[in-house]
Amino acid sequence: MSSADVPALGDLLDGLRVVSIPLRTRFRGIEYREIAYLAGPSGYGEFAPFLEYEPPEASRWLLAAIEAAYDEWPVAVRESVPVNATVPAVDAVDVPAVLARYDGCTTAKVKVAERGQRPADDLARVAEVRNVLGADGRVRVDANGGWSVEEAAASLERLAAYGLEYAEQPCATVEELVELRTLLAHRGVDVRIAADESIRKAEDPLRVARLGAADIAVVKVAPLGGVRAALAVAQECGLPIVVSSALDSSVGIAAGLALAAALPSLEHACGLGTVELLEGDVTTDRLVPQAGSLQVRNPEVSPELLDRWAAAPDRVQWWQDRVSACRTALSADRARDL
């Protein structure tokens, strides 16, 4: 799906539905997840860039939703995808209850570097995750770019005692990731680095690989403009891939599954178990882990559940305006390409 294939605005807004679903635990500073759905000949596409994203960035999410609603995804080469549990920045005492929601998951991604928390909070949370998963479980941490290079090195040196699989986006910039990898090697800290924001929020998502800034690439469908666009990035970067989600409902997770299922190789559990962070969904066939994996499929959306979680009229108007602004941004991109 390219900017040249964008349907007319009236077609995008026709049948647009918007929901507001509460989260089980505050995540990324929000308590409700607002999601817009586009209806098309192929079904529903999920459009849910976070509220602070401006049209130039959010327009890629619109392309992904259009692809899902109007196009077909690549052929799958596997029927199931292993997934990780996601542990928000909760108190250590709450970790067992969070992990209990993820049936059979032996890998957990733990949020760290939360604003207002201390390194000791991260240490306690990761320690409890390791305690619950046992010695054979895999533990990865995600700082969302929240550390400086020195803070990341110091924190990862402490956290490495719990056998980290990798640290996701410990610092904000590609240059900082390169510096951090060098510093960790100098200090003898054996923690691999994964890049997320440095790929999905970058104008050049392949720069991470060219500069040797990461060992692993975390790839998300919506921020990269759809399954096919994300698959191209995954194949070109040459790094092991972890497919992740952006706090999606099952409609968005289905797109992530389509990407993970199409990859020639899949070495790591994927971050596609995040439906468990939501109190509700728009399908009765929720894409939640069973025995640590998700079966590759595209669930049918329930009109009743769209009604159950329907957003207020003023929020629907806000999302209609946002679709319009993002479509305008895509048209501007197309004009520049001509």
Task: Tell me if 24 sits within 8 A of 281, measured CB to CB.
Answer: no
**Mode of pairing for the β-strands spanning 107-111 and 138-142:** parallel
Q: Can you tell me the distance from the alpha carbon of 329 to that of 54, in angstroms, rounded to the nearest whole number?
A: 10
Is 215 among the annotated ligand-binding positions?
Answer: no
Q: Can you tell me the distance from the alpha carbon of 140 to that of 203, in angstroms, rounded to the nearest whole number?
A: 26
Is 142 among the annotated ligand-binding positions?
Answer: yes
Catalytic position from the list 220, 228, 322, 327: 220
Q: Can you tell me the distance from the alpha carbon of 224 to that of 203, in angstroms, rounded to the nearest whole number?
A: 10
Give me the phi and psi of 143, to 5 degrees please.
-100, -5
Task: Tell me if 279 sits within 8 A of 258, measured CB to CB.
Answer: no
Tell me if residue 259 falls in helix, strand or coil: helix
Q: Where are the beta strands (DSSP E) in the chain?
A: 17-27, 30-40, 43-47, 80-82, 85-87, 107-111, 138-142, 164-168, 193-195, 216-220, 241-244, 293-295
Catalytic position from the list 17, 60, 109, 111: 111
3-state helix, strand, coil in the chain (%, to 5): 45, 20, 35
Q: Can you tell me the distance from the alpha carbon of 285 to that of 283, in angstroms, rounded to the nearest whole number?
A: 5
**Mode of pairing for the β-strands spanning 193-195 and 216-220:** parallel
- Per the annotation, the verdict on 109 as an active-site residue is no
Q: Can you tell me the distance from the alpha carbon of 168 to that of 216, in angstroms, rounded to the nearest whole number?
A: 9
- Per the annotation, the verdict on 220 as an active-site residue is yes
Annotation: binding site for Mg(2+): 142, 168, 196
Q: Which residues are catalytic?
A: 111, 220
Annotation: binding site: 142, 168, 196
